[in-house]
Structure 1
Amino acid sequence: MSQVEVAKKLAAYRAVDENLPPHAKVIGIGSGSTVIYAAERIGQLPNKNEFVCISTGFQSKQLIVDNGLRLGQIEQYPEIDIAFDGADEVDPNLNLIKGGGACLFQEKLVASAAKKLVIVADFRKQSKHLGEHWRQGVPIEVVPIAFSKVTRELTKLGAKKVDLRQGGKAKAGPVITDNYNFILDVDFGIIEDPQSLHLKLKQLVGVVDTGLFTGIAQKVYFGEENGEVTVWG
């Protein structure tokens, strides 16, 4: 295991150990390479049969099952005690870009239902401003029949580039989300006011949600290159 991977594991374990309420009944588990270790740590708890875990998509559902945890649905448990998730980029105000794995809507649904959202990531996700290091653009989930219209409107809002995310070698044609929608990756450059941009994007008819998470995360744990852990928040 590389030093960075060791740090990611330490960050995830610390995030769980320092934040998981002792009598939590419902826990949200997101996706990402660092969240794998958070799920692993939660799966080591002796009382894991006393709570249920809510997934944010297919990958996190597999993490829950593979670690011997009880899987629940957000329809059954709309109030979540705490959620652990990853991020593609984080600024010092704990604003996030998420959605690199195309699960942004369900991730935001679980995050908004949680009393506390804790992010675990590696040092490469730290930025002074969103859009500084994450150059793939802000993921935006859109209803398929609206993607052409939304693409034109995004350009009018100042988007430098709009890409309909493709399945690549694994699939001919665009990526389809767990909600049967498309993903647009939109490059706005450096984002000075993520909340304002998110609100403008949400007003566009056809936009389901955006990968801008503002005012939601309460703590972020980073696995550093030197093997240490940094905590923001």
Structure 2
Amino acid sequence: MADLVEQAKKKASYAAIDEHINANTHVIGIGSGSTVVYCVERLAQRFKSEPGLKIRACIPTSFQANQLILEAGLPLAELNAHPVIDVTFDGADEIDASLNCIKGGGGCHLQEKLVAAASKKFVVVADYRKESTALGIQWTKGIPVEVIPMAYVTIQKKIQGLGPCVTDSGNLILDVFLGVLTGDAAVTDAHLKLITIPGVVETGLFIGMAGWAYLGAADGSVKTLTNVTSQKKQESSVL
């Protein structure tokens, strides 16, 4: 079973990289998690074998991503040096029918969201287990909520969150389960309920950001999901 999951991750990652990386792709966001390892693997293969690729910078979303970029021999840079990113590839803990995502199980969703928001294209790669009709069905650990350390006890009491754990940004994460979030309005309401609490830095709800999702299946196939509205919204917000 584990081998099938890893193969599914690899298939999805390779398909996403091959579809979205071309001679006009210069700045790439590199997400975090186990699936992104295969994205970097494929990106490095193509970077080294295709002289036509003019990749100038890879922007990491975490310490893990930073190390992956360096070890792969890809050009590493910071977001402030390249504030507009051509495409970002990242994983997800759960993806709903509109490609809204829960992200942050790895403790770096703030940096992931900053990089995604600076990207013309945001592409999610995952295996078949992450697809869901509504957020909260498959991923039952809760929505990661990043908070400043001095306020975590107060916020924890308000939202009955579990945790904390330390993030890559030096803040703390509390996980809160708000039930099954069916539809865009429910996902947006959950985000607003949390983000307006003083001391909350960011939530792990990525709403209307992903334009594509590549999901590797156990049989070796790759399912591609798209959201045209998110594609247009993401590109227009960056340009």
* Alpha-carbon contact 1:121-1:223 (below 8 Å) kept: yes
1:153-182 deviation per Cα after TM superposition (whole angstroms, max 9, x unaligned): 224xxxxxx2013xxxxxxxxx22121111
Equivalent positions of 1:11-160 (< 5 A) are 11-44=12-45, 45=47, 46-47=50-51, 50-155=55-160
* Alpha-carbon contact 2:12-2:125 (below 8 Å) kept: yes
* Alpha-carbon contact 1:4-1:227 (below 8 Å) kept: no
1:111-161 deviation per Cα after TM superposition (whole angstroms, max 9, x unaligned): 000000000001110111101010110000000111122123224xxxxxx
Structure 1 segments, 4+ long, off by >3 Å, are 47-50
Identity over aligned pairs, percent: 47
Structure 2 regions of 5+ residues with no counterpart? 227-239
Structure 1 regions of 5+ residues with no counterpart? 156-161, 166-174
SS in structure 1 opposite 2:80? coil
* Alpha-carbon contact 1:4-1:226 (below 8 Å) kept: no
Cα distance in 1 for partners of 2:74, 2:54 equals 7
Counterpart residue identity of residue 150, structure 1: I
Residue of structure 2 in register with 1:216 after alignment: 209
1:176-201 deviation per Cα after TM superposition (whole angstroms, max 9, x unaligned): 21211110011112113111211221
SS in structure 2 opposite 1:82? strand
| RMSD over equivalenced CA pairs, Å | 1.4
Equivalent positions of 1:202-213 (< 5 A) are 202-213=195-206
Counterpart residue identity of residue 163, structure 2: L
Cα distance in 2 for partners of 1:4, 1:204 equals 38
Equivalent positions of 1:185-204 (< 5 A) are 185-192=175-182, 193-204=186-197
Residue of structure 2 in register with 1:158 after alignment: none
1:196-228 deviation per Cα after TM superposition (whole angstroms, max 9, x unaligned): 211221111100000000000000001112221
Counterpart residue identity of residue 229, structure 1: V
SS in structure 2 opposite 1:179? coil
Counterpart residue identity of residue 184, structure 1: L
* Alpha-carbon contact 2:26-2:54 (below 8 Å) kept: no
1:24-69 deviation per Cα after TM superposition (whole angstroms, max 9, x unaligned): 2210000111111111111112346642100000001111111110
Q: TM-score when scaled to structure 2?
A: 0.87
Q: TM-score when scaled to structure 1?
A: 0.89
Cα distance in 1 for partners of 2:76, 2:166 equals 23
1:53-111 deviation per Cα after TM superposition (whole angstroms, max 9, x unaligned): 00000001111111110100001111111000000000010000000100000000000
